[in-house]
């Protein structure tokens, strides 16, 4: 992992559909070296895959919500039951266990408030062992970076 690798990762996060020749020019290396570097970054598991980025607005997903969820019990079984239920719901885009007392942060995308209400009642409220939930709606996205900083 040198500065050329980092530049490669930056360029590939920003746009992965460039040709290797273009990438080589951007990072200042030869095409073959570039190709080898990408292959080893993939083999090392640093690059985990390639994905198409979609515009949620144009998919009609105009509502983003962050929901903080606390469990009644922090026992291992109740957490496992909760997490298994989360995995089953497609409307839950993301879920993290956070510091504190068995709190989770969940990210939801919905078409509108009515859809969010349906998700809330037909999905979030069905999660087992929940003691409290607090929803924040994203009114406007200030910044949405593509991926991670490479240092």
Cβ-contact 24, 34 below 8 angstroms: yes
The entry of DNA, a second copy, none near residue 39 (CB within 5 to 8 angstroms by kind) is: DNA
- Extract the tokens encoding 41: 């970054």
Cβ-contact 47, 9 below 8 angstroms: yes
Q: Tell me the HSE value of 32 on the side-chain side, using a 13 A CA sphere.
A: 0
* Interface residue with DNA, options 13, 31, 135, 150 (CB under 7 A): 31
* Interface residue with a second copy, options 24, 34, 37, 64 (CB under 8 A): 64
Task: Please identify, using beta-carbon distances, which residue of 17 and 57 lies nearer to DNA.
Answer: 17
DSSP assignment letter at 102:
T
**4 belongs to the binding site for DNA (CB under 7 A):** yes
**2 belongs to the binding site for DNA (CB under 7 A):** yes
Q: What are the b/e assignments for 34-47, b being 16+ CB within 10 Å?
A: beebbeebeeeeeb
- Extract the tokens encoding 14: 């920003």
List binders of a second copy among 98-137 (CB under 8 A). Answer: 98-100, 103-105, 109, 136-137
The entry of DNA, a second copy, none near residue 43 (CB within 5 to 8 angstroms by kind) is: none
- If DSSP codes are grouped into helix, strand and coil, which group holds residue 18? coil
Taking the complex as a whole, how short is the minimal distance between the CB of residue 51 and DNA, in angstroms?
Answer: 15
Task: Find the part of the chain contacting a second copy (CB under 8 A) among 29-37, 70-78, 80-88, 125-133.
Answer: 80-88
Contact residues for a second copy, defined by CB under 8 A? 9, 12-17, 44-56, 58-59, 61, 64, 66, 83, 86-87, 90-100, 103-105, 109, 136-151
């Amino acid at each position: 992992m040198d500065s050329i690798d980092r530049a490669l990762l930056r360029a590939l996060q920003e746009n992965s559909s460039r040709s290797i020749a273009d990438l080589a020019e951007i990072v200042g290396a030869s095409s073959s070296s570039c190709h080898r570097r990408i292959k080893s970054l993939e083999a090392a598991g640093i690059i985990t895959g390639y994905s198409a980025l979609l515009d949620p607005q144009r998919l009609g997903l105009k509502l983003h919500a962050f929901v903080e969820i606390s469990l009644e019990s922090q026992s291992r079984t109740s957490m496992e039951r909760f997490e298994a239920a989360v995995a089953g719901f497609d409307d839950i885009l993301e879920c993290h266990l956070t510091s504190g007392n068995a709190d989770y942060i969940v990210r939801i995308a919905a078409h509108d408030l009515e859809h969010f209400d349906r998700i809330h009642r037909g999905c979030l409220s069905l999660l087992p062992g929940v003691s409290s939930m607090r929803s924040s709606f994203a009114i406007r996205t200030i910044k949405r970076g593509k991926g991670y900083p490479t240092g």
